[in-house]
Structure 1
Amino acid sequence: MLDLGGALEVFTTCPQSKEFPAADYLRRALEVSAWSDEAGCAGMLIYTDNGIADPWLVAQAVLEGTRRLCPLVAVQPVYMHPYAAAKMVASLGFLHGRRICLNMLAGGFRNDLLALGDETPHDDRYARTIEYTLIMRQLLEADRPVTFEGRYYRVRGLRVTPALPAELFPGLLISGSSAAGRAAAAAIGATAIEYPRPPAEAAAGEEAFPAGLRRGVRIGIIARADPEEAWRAAWERFPADRRGRLAHGLAMRTSDSVWHRQLSDLAREAAAQENPYWLWPFENYSTFCPYLVGDYGTVAAEVARYLGLGASAFILDIPREPGDLEAAGIVFRAALEKAATPRAPPDG
């Protein structure tokens, strides 16, 4: 369904441990990873923050429970030295003969960072992540000891053992919603992932995106043959949540995240249900990305517009059932067809 022959990469997202009792979480994470593997997803994002299970341990379980799925591990530089992260990648490759991907973080929840004693400003965090990732790259690519002198990290004559085979070198992703994020993506050779604006507005800001930079978007999809059925499913999945809206407001007051503020500004703009771009789940703190909702053709047309802007990777929100991935497969195949079809010239 979502193995699209290399035309683009579609990742799904792993459930978070805070949403389940301890006795149920691993079963649910493996269930979702099995759906994603069966659907042909390229990989599955595994979050990290101070309040959930360690993503490296979850990734280990995912590798054991799937055949092809690539764990996309969120890497928080504040949590571990770049050598430790490179050692994790090399060790997982050695133990499983499988490739993983890395979602390089520059920030996180503001209170999480403060609890860890990290008060580094927004753009400086991206500079730190650049150094962190370059050290990791050199450790995983080099066949000799690595020496690196930077503002945040210094290593001398360092080597990772066991060595990582070249074909298992991890795919790299990083948030690209800010200028600092896009510059970091270019510096480390990563895909810049955006929490996108509606396609028309994203096209208007196209000049801010560097040419040649690989880009992707983070969205949720709820699509059905009947648009009314799609919206009914969307409202059932994301009902009003007063506590969530209060949490969203608190997060907005403390966050310096560019993408968080961009989406919050968009959410304040009234939108009719006919508009497939839907931020209600974000406003209620139910998830952290916009959704596209509607019939297959309408949602596919929106996805095709992101493809037209150069998006080659998509990270989908956490699926609730296998049917979510089936619907996404229908949408992406239709979107690829639409993107490949030349537009008729205007009349006159």
Structure 2
Amino acid sequence: MTATPAALTIYGTCPPSGRENGRDYLERVREVARWSDRAGYEGVLVYTDNRSVDPWLIAQNIIQVTGQLTPLVAVQAAYMHPFTAAKFVSGLAHLYQRRVDLNIVAGGFTADLEAMGEGLPHDARYDRAVEYASIMKQLLESRTPVTFDGEYYSASGLRLHDVPGADLAPRFLVSGSSPAGMAAARALDATGIVYPERPDLQAPADPTIAQGMRIGVIARPSAAEAWEVALTRFPEDRAGRMNHRLAMSRSDSRWHERLSRAVERDGTYWMHPFKTFKTFCPYFVGDYATVGRELGRYVELGYATFILDTPAKEQDLKHLEVVLEIARNLRKERV
């Protein structure tokens, strides 16, 4: 399989924990990591929340079984001090000579945050995330001791003893479709990640920052074949719909609320996996050419980074490669 084109940055997604026992889950993580590595993906997103296995443990396993794949670790300020998170990044770089990218998140299920004494409102959490990531960036980019005096964090002469070289410096992404999320991405010179609406409804990317999106894709040579795979993989699930409604009632996420109002199926744009609590992003289902053109429309709008949902089989990545090639060629034609 050829590498993903340089014009688009492609991350996969690690399987979420909790649906399999420990040994089976670990092997599933390693399997998906190997697939993504062979596909030439930039990296693979690793979730973090109160229910998930610690993402740094998963990141180390991903590094150990792949040749170049970069863990994209979700980092939530509520879980650890920025110095501790920076030490994990520098430690993995030092031990394995591998980069770890960071997906800065500020949200979560309200009950989970409250259980940890997390009482900040939505936008304030992004303000704190900016301070958090700013300290991490300074620690990881310079040997100069860090002094910082902010609203949420302070430091005096803080430094790492193993600062990664420039080639191992992490890339920063910020997850969140709200104005506060995009403002945080801008402040950090990071890539802002959104959860898109249909291409004809999606706003163009902000030209002042890099932007990308999280989506799932099921594509086959024909639309009928793609939908057969999709409906088999994500059947109707009443319990899942109840869990989705419960999760929505416990979240203050703007994108979660907006996507919950979206039509369940609109052409290739499919919200069923999201609304049955099987995943957290829109899906695109259809034949190669149609789905490739849809992704190409997002690229034309300025979105050049894609975080793709967890594949069920390695063959899924081969079908995805066809779609990405179409999207890339459309971009070439328009340049």
Give the TM-score normalised by the residue count of structure 1.
Answer: 0.94
Contact 1:87–1:161 (Cα < 8 Å) also in 2: no
Deviation at 1:2, TM superposition (A): 6.3
The answer for the alignment partner of 1:85 in structure 2 is 85
Contact 2:264–2:270 (Cα < 8 Å) also in 1: no
Deviation at 1:51, TM superposition (A): 0.6
The answer for the alignment partner of 2:31 in structure 1 is 31
For 2:96 and 2:23, the matched residues in 1 are separated by 26
Aligned ranges 1:1-348 → 2 under 5 Å: 1=1, 3-202=3-202, 205-206=203-204, 209-266=205-262, 269=263, 271-272=265-266, 275-342=267-334
Percent sequence identity over aligned pairs: 48
For 2:241 and 2:88, the matched residues in 1 are separated by 37
Contact 1:176–1:185 (Cα < 8 Å) also in 2: no
For 2:93 and 2:188, the matched residues in 1 are separated by 21
Deviation at 1:265, TM superposition (A): 1.3
Deviation at 1:342, TM superposition (A): 4.1
Contact 2:265–2:271 (Cα < 8 Å) also in 1: no
Deviation at 1:142, TM superposition (A): 1.7
Contact 2:224–2:286 (Cα < 8 Å) also in 1: yes
Contact 2:106–2:129 (Cα < 8 Å) also in 1: yes
For 2:47 and 2:3, the matched residues in 1 are separated by 23
Tell me the matched-pair count: 335
Deviation at 1:111, TM superposition (A): 1.4
For 1:169 and 1:262, the matched residues in 2 are separated by 34
Q: Secondary structure at the match of 2:95?
A: helix
Unaligned runs of 5+ in 1: 344-348
- CA RMSD across the alignment: 1.3
**Deviation per CA, 1:103-161, whole angstroms, max 9, x where unpaired?**
11111121110111101100000000000000000111122111000000000000011
The answer for the alignment partner of 1:346 in structure 2 is none
Give the TM-score normalised by the residue count of structure 2.
Answer: 0.97
For 2:54 and 2:319, the matched residues in 1 are separated by 30
Q: Secondary structure at the match of 1:143?
A: coil
Q: Secondary structure at the match of 1:320?
A: coil
Deviation at 1:211, TM superposition (A): 2.0
